[in-house]
Structure 1
């Protein structure tokens, strides 16, 4: 008998232990992630009394795949436009948390005597809250539609981006073993250029590709294509000197801007769940319970640091962004834990061999404890706000109210501000793309051309091709915004503005000359004057070429068309105008979405009968039924399964509405459970014996269909078989009758009992 490879047997142990333990944790109403970690402890080398994993190293391969899919799924939910929409509140809050917790974690590590590198990684681990745990807690507690939940989700989006950047910076510091300002700055610039290039090129190409092959994309092919794109970007990222996790995250954020994003997210979810489970189990395998007991005091200290630090920095950051005190405190208490990114950063430190082994299980233990307390901390936020509101002076309250209302006032930006921001965005993006294209060309394409065509001819051909490739970008750098409304307004308003405006154009032209000089210097061995002349001629041709102008405009339109495609699609399905939603927020009201589930007691009833307005103080403003949208539905409108109800109300009213419909659903289903079991359809046969009341009657006259709600599907008569007999078929003695219907009624007929 052949032996099963250890990889398969170990995978069996992991999944069986994960399945059993997570079922227990679901029953205990605890987060599944905690179950995975406990399953890892049981399946790891710490317990030899039960079958455990024999080759831990091979499982790390699966865990690495798990990290890739976790980051890919995170990228799918990320979206660059979503980051831009979360605004100053989320950005200010996240920056405050990350800087504050990294500093606090670093100081805590040094005070515990763990050294510089351990403390640096510890700060990174303690600075990220758990997206998975918070989403799950809000769902379980029915808080996802609360106003503060939206703020928390925004902070988590920004934190996810910081976490990915932090992984790259920590890797750089770990390799260099010391902090050098110039080296760190070059790493940040390199990372920024890489992200910009991947995003711009990805948005330009990938949505167009998916659109062209959309008719061939069933669930199977879309899954394979998505995973292929993800792993392809992983290879590109690692070749560029970054982590595989960064590549997966980048591809996820690119696909998040496509119209197929939701389909991809649903298809990837089972794959992510499988490999994510293996990753979290592998986290548990590295935990030694004896080591945890040995370090119980540091674990307790770090747990307090996380909970107190996250609450303090998050509340302060969100308050600083202009949110009311109650929202700030509720958000701070919700973020009081660390999660999956702590494990990933800890695993990164181990793989780079720059952190001690004791740090990994300590951080996991802190994460487990803080995760366990998350629901209780969220519940404590309301009493904590009442205490703070009671003890702070009235003058502070009035100041915070004025600060909050003042921060939310929309201020008109100056023309200079708008113009400079637009130019920085345009010049930065196109310069990054141009630099990466030049680098790739000079490293890979030009040597191939010059090998095939030797001498000066090959160099000139390579130069002409790269200049043709980057010329649309060069024109955009030099000419964009030169005829914009802001530019013309500044030019006409004041003659003193004209000097700076011309200087901006000249600086961009000089930048483009420098970009052209890069391939010229590399490919042609000429004097500086001749090379500058060539660059100037190229720039002049780029500026005055009408064909190039048209090409540049078409490329930009194509890019923005791809960028906003998903947004346009969502706006078509959007129940309410976003401006109206923002108007509601100013009055402490907001919109929430609820779905009518199958077997819901509300199903089939009119809005007048349900009377949600009187019972819960909420209003149903829209019903979405498939592709149909019913705005301001009338009282006679009935609800059907899978209808999406867009409800407007305050936080308290929406929470009351959620609990009300959940309680009605639970009571209705528990009451009807017994009835559901009696409606089973069955198929039976019976023989018409002598004296039966059916003899001589037709199927219609027998009342089998009308009275018993059963269907005659066949009659066996002698050696013949009548399939689907017509209604006027006469029953005879000895017929074998096949009937279908509700089980109880079929049994009555087959036993000859009276209906």
Structure 2
């Protein structure tokens, strides 16, 4: 087949590949959305078709190195966003589902997976790696599905999050030990010592940077008030830690996740989330398409029976184990069915682990292909399984509620996050006006959340125990973090109409009945805000005129009082 675009030499091959991917994703997504089907399987099929139809050869974008590079970029960026969403405070608040539920789930799934693989005739060392990879679930897909179902804060969503957090911690430890597990001919004591030294060095470096390097750098960048520089710094941080992880013999994707975790512990985590999360779906899309690009269709056809059996066993056996672990975590009344559906797949860290095992020559190409397809399929069907599990959980809950002594779900509150607030006021900006508003609301026992872009101010407020977010008040993610949906009012206390006008459509979409307060310098801007739908606008010139009038009239009143 002729190399049509590549022979022209005018368009870079990577750009051609990216264009083909995004264009095909749009077409497939429109078709699947029309039939209300999950888009994730469609993304995988896009990559599969592009890789096996000859289109990439025709377009001159069939370089295996370039495809693997795109796959690595997608998973690195995806895992960085997952790391930013990781919260040590959440782990503390979800101790039981994380350590009890997650520990039981990981142990039983790894043992079951290892046993099945050993029965297939593979070496025990290789079976352990595959079993551990099967025990991991997709944090990105499960949490996104809970959000799409509007159940992220439900007990079943909280238990799923706790188990996912434990899996994220477990995979870091396992990745450190992976070369030791797979190295059959070396000295186990020396190999283990070297692996532990690397792991400890990486963890110590991450902790050190989280306290003495990264916060100071982000603080200096934040002082510039440059959104572009902040975004570039965050992406640069992600890639730098990923490279460092690779140099230590660990996975770059693991390093990107660690970089996200480091950022998540700082006051800048909300700002980073606001900048990165809008692109998370794009990273997830690239991840799924890149898996499809790595699949050899001939190998899939030749070993379709292994793929079908593997997919079935993963969903059934792992789903059953997750359901048991969810019940141990405190879920009752059938809600464990939804958690089981959410975590019944393998995940993005499974791909990272398998890629690393392949680099260490532990997996044959056939086994790698089978596991890649099983991972993509199981991840893709998670949203469908979760939708099926909801009515099943409702029926089971109704049945169990008739039995005496049935316990309801444990309290799995959000703990340290800005959660649970209702009927509050969101204060955007903490200048003199915002500070005055906050103080008066506090005196009146009205709860408030502050969104502020001054890092020093945010640090001070957090130290005082005030609920505060370091983010841009015009971004959707920041407004959601402030629980806009449940607020009574939002006040833009700075006189910049552009921010309020830009955020207003998002505000009305999330909470149509909320009261919006704005502030402007000039009368024309006040009229524009009112026309756009702002409920109350404070006009600086008008308010200053009233204050000046009162001040001047007070001097006449004082003179009259003295004459009297």
TM over 0.5: yes
Q: Quick check: 1:625 aligned with 2:490?
A: yes
Give, in whole Å, the separation in 1 of the partners of 2:161 and 2:337.
15
Partner SS state of residue 68, structure 2: helix
Match of residue 611 from structure 1? none
In the TM superposition, 1:440-519 aligns within 5 A as none
- Shift in alpha-carbon separation, 1:179–1:79, aligned structure 2, 3 A: farther
- Whether the 8 Å CA contact 1:226–1:264 is kept in 2: the answer is yes
Match of residue 332 from structure 1? 340
Match of 1:572 among 464, 467, 484: 467
- Shift in alpha-carbon separation, 1:86–1:222, aligned structure 2, 3 A: same
Partner SS state of residue 44, structure 1: helix
- Whether the 8 Å CA contact 1:63–1:275 is kept in 2: the answer is no
Encode CA deviations 1:330-388: one digit per residue, 9 max, x unaligned. Answer: 32233222232232223223333221112233223323433344244333355357559
Give, in whole Å, the separation in 2 of the partners of 1:569 and 1:302.
53
Relative to the length of structure 1, the TM-score reads 0.51
- Shift in alpha-carbon separation, 1:149–1:271, aligned structure 2, 3 A: closer
Size of the alignment, in residue pairs? 441
Give, in whole Å, the separation in 2 of the partners of 1:290 and 1:566.
60
Give, in whole Å, the separation in 1 of the partners of 2:187 and 2:318.
26
Give, in whole Å, the separation in 1 of the partners of 2:126 and 2:70.
26
Encode CA deviations 1:49-78: one digit per residue, 9 max, x unaligned. Answer: 984632122221232222221221111111
Match of 1:320 among 301, 313, 328: 328
Match of residue 392 from structure 2? 383
- Shift in alpha-carbon separation, 1:4–1:48, aligned structure 2, 3 A: closer
Q: Quick check: 1:60 aligned with 2:68?
A: yes
In the TM superposition, 1:493-642 aligns within 5 A as 571-573=466-468, 595=484, 623-626=488-491
Match of residue 11 from structure 2? 4
- Shift in alpha-carbon separation, 1:305–1:188, aligned structure 2, 3 A: farther
Q: Quick check: 1:173 aligned with 2:181?
A: yes
Of 176-185 and 156-165, deviating more is 176-185
- Whether the 8 Å CA contact 1:164–1:246 is kept in 2: the answer is yes
- Whether the 8 Å CA contact 1:118–1:359 is kept in 2: the answer is no
In the TM superposition, 1:85-164 aligns within 5 A as 85-164=93-172
Encode CA deviations 1:582-614: one digit per residue, 9 max, x unaligned. Answer: xxxxxxxxxx99756xxxxxxxxxxxxxxxxxx
Q: Quick check: 1:260 aligned with 2:268?
A: yes
Give, in whole Å, the separation in 1 of the partners of 2:152 and 2:255.
30
Partner SS state of residue 107, structure 2: helix
Q: Residue 314 of structure 1: CA displacement?
A: 1.8
Match of residue 16 from structure 1? 23
Partner SS state of residue 36, structure 2: coil
Match of residue 70 from structure 1? 78
Relative to the length of structure 2, the TM-score reads 0.67
Over alpha carbons, which structure has the higher Rg?
1
Compute the RMSD of aligned alpha carbons: 4.1
- Where structure 2 has 5 or more consecutive residues not aligned to the other structure, the ranges are 1-7, 413-455, 470-480, 494-503, 514-564
Q: Quick check: 1:42 aligned with 2:45?
A: no
Q: Quick check: 1:286 aligned with 2:294?
A: yes
- Whether the 8 Å CA contact 2:239–2:256 is kept in 1: the answer is yes
- Whether the 8 Å CA contact 1:199–1:250 is kept in 2: the answer is no
- Where structure 1 has 5 or more consecutive residues not aligned to the other structure, the ranges are 409-560, 575-591, 597-619, 629-639, 646-657, 665-755
Match of residue 246 from structure 1? 254
Give, in whole Å, the separation in 2 of the partners of 1:167 and 1:26.
38
- Shift in alpha-carbon separation, 1:189–1:50, aligned structure 2, 3 A: closer
- Shift in alpha-carbon separation, 1:22–1:354, aligned structure 2, 3 A: farther
Match of residue 237 from structure 2? 229
- Whether the 8 Å CA contact 1:259–1:569 is kept in 2: the answer is no
- Whether the 8 Å CA contact 2:136–2:167 is kept in 1: the answer is yes
